[in-house]
Copies of this chain bind each other. A is one copy, B any other.
Amino acid sequence: MAPQQSVLALDIGGTKLAVAVMTDDGRTHGFLSEPTEKHRGPDAVIAHLFDMGHRSIAAAGLGAPASVGISCGGPLDAPAGILTHPLHLPGWIDIPIVAMAAEEFGVPAVVENDATAAVLGEHRYGAARGAEIALYLTLSTGVGGGSIIDGRLHRGAAGNGGEFGHLTVRPGGRDCLCGRKGCLEAYASGTSIAARAKDLLTGDDRPSTLRDRDAVRAEDVAAAAAAGDPLATAVWRETTDVLGQAVTDLVNIFEPQVVVLGGGVTRSGVLLLDPVRTLVQTTAMPPAAARATVTLAGLGDAVCVVGAGALALDLLEKTRV
């Protein structure tokens, strides 16, 4: 039997590098996840990433991949194949990652924003299968987004569309890493949920189980809110309020069939999903609200790798035509 065609998928995160070989059924083989160690700089990190690629190919046992798909945080210039200056990788300036990967593995390569890759993965293999219009929000260290429109990936003029994290949810509000104030990311990222809890602990005398901790993380806030802690509940309610407002705006803009929420913050499950769903159903324009389902990601932590694999498969299609 001829070996099944496979592609190599590389995901460059600020904390972790994830790599796998993927077949066109969306299954991953030889999956590896290792720390990024970004302090070592782009040359060392990329050498490590490519080494993981070779190890994954060997472990998968499916022969040489036909193409390479790469996902990375923006900003990047996808058509040019260049990481211009990813916010989560300080010091990475104008890295020609597509040319580097193509040379390393001897096959065509492609790069996209990680949330763009993620929506493609969820659309083809996850919670957004069959949708003509699907949106994806990643609630993680930062907040990113991607969209499928009329069945096809929308990437913006140069792959930087879908900056749902920088919707203005509280004009003049909290500082955002992007330099503006009041962005969704400044309220609904894991980092900002933790930071808001810390601020509230400082300025509020109410007892809270969060006071017992050295470092408050977003998951601690979620757990304490679930247990009824009033201070954590206040932080959590603000989180779901702004997220529900932003998803409502996106539903009004796109009239999607499905909005998928993914990333570490969504491990809180229904504690996040239920109030967001309720806000969207009660405040979006009725025709759009009636059609839109808000749901959790189906691919979990592998979503960006699966998305990068889907990009690599699409690249083969394009080359064939």
Contact surface of A with B, Cβ cutoff 8 Å:
74-75, 77, 84, 132-133, 145, 149-150, 152, 154-164, 166-171, 178, 180, 245, 248-250, 252-257, 283, 285-288, 291
Q: Is the CB of B288 within 8 A of A255?
A: no
Question: Shortest beta-carbon distance, A116 to chain B, in Å?
Answer: 11
Q: Is the CB of B288 within 8 A of A160?
A: yes
The CB with the most chain B CB atoms within 10 A, among A74, A158, A287, is that of A287
Q: Is the CB of A249 within 8 A of B288?
A: no
Dominant SS at the A interface? loop
Q: Is the CB of A245 within 8 A of B168?
A: yes
Query: In the assembly, how many copies of this chain are there?
Result: 2
Q: Which residue of B lies closest to A257 (CB)?
A: B157
16 A-B pairs (CB sep. < 8 Å): A133-B156, A150-B152, A157-B255, A157-B257, A157-B288, A160-B255, A160-B288, A162-B255, A163-B288, A166-B249, A168-B249, A170-B171, A171-B171, A180-B283, A249-B249, A250-B253
Question: How far is B146's CA from A253's CA once the two chains are assembled, in angstroms?
Answer: 9
The CB with the most chain B CB atoms within 10 A, among A154, A164, A250, A254, is that of A254
Among B162, B252, B291, point to the contact of A158 (Cβ < 8 A): B291
Question: How far is B77's CA from A145's CA once the two chains are assembled, in angstroms?
Answer: 27
Question: How far is B161's CA from A133's CA once the two chains are assembled, in angstroms?
Answer: 10
Q: Which residue of B lies closest to A288 (CB)?
A: B160
Q: Is the CB of A256 within 8 A of B164?
A: no
With a cutoff of 8 Å between Cβ atoms, the chain B residues found around residue A252 in the complex are 163-164, 166-167
Question: How far is B154's CA from A150's CA once the two chains are assembled, in angstroms?
Answer: 8
Question: How far is B245's CA from A168's CA once the two chains are assembled, in angstroms?
Answer: 7
Question: How far is B255's CA from A257's CA once the two chains are assembled, in angstroms?
Answer: 22
**Inter-chain pairs besides A74-B287, A164-B253, A167-B249, 4 sampled, C-beta below 8 Å:** A133-B157, A157-B291, A166-B249, A178-B285
